[in-house]
Amino acid sequence: MPSNDQSDAADLDRSRTTLNQAGADSLPRRPWQHPRQPASDTDLVWFAAWSARDIEAADPAVLAAGLRLLAAARAELDQVESGLLFAARGAGMTWPQIAEALGLGSAQAAQQRLGRVLARSSGSETES
């Protein structure tokens, strides 16, 4: 019997396949994507939401697939956010500047945000 991780990965793959078969495989590639790189889970979630623009024609299987990919899309965005925060620091931005860009009230809040993002990315923070 497969482990939960294997079962979860298979569910995510089935969700990606469902969305690609519904038309996401024809989404234009982003400039930063390799030509053969599949759409990101974030793009697939957006596609699922977009597909529901006509609620009467919305496919529940497509919507369910998008919902199943939400956690994976959040993880992608956490990785992008941590990368941007490290890049900002590397480029010489101060924590107060980063806090302002994020709409946060203090440098400490920006540093704490990085800590939370890194904790989620590493799996050391549980979801509420």
Query: Phi then psi for 45, rounded to 5 degrees?
Result: -65, -45
117 has pLDDT over 60: yes
Give residue 128's pLDDT band: very low, low, confident or very high (50, 70, 90).
Answer: very low
Give residue 121's pLDDT band: very low, low, confident or very high (50, 70, 90).
Answer: confident
Which residues, other chains included, contact 11 with Cβ-Cβ below 8 Å and sequence gap of 6+?
A: 68
pLDDT in tens, 77-103: 999 999 999 999 999 999 999 999 999
Q: What is the pLDDT of residue 127?
A: 47
Percent share of the chain, pLDDT over 90:
85
Q: What is the pLDDT of residue 47?
A: 97
Hey, what are 49's tokens?
A: 């939401």
Query: Phi then psi for 8, rounded to 5 degrees?
Result: -65, -45
Kindly report whether the global pTM for this prediction surpasses the value 0.75: yes
Q: What is the pLDDT of residue 2?
A: 56
Q: What is the pLDDT of residue 104?
A: 97
126 has pLDDT over 90: no
Which of 59, 114, 61 is CA-nearest to residue 88?
A: 114
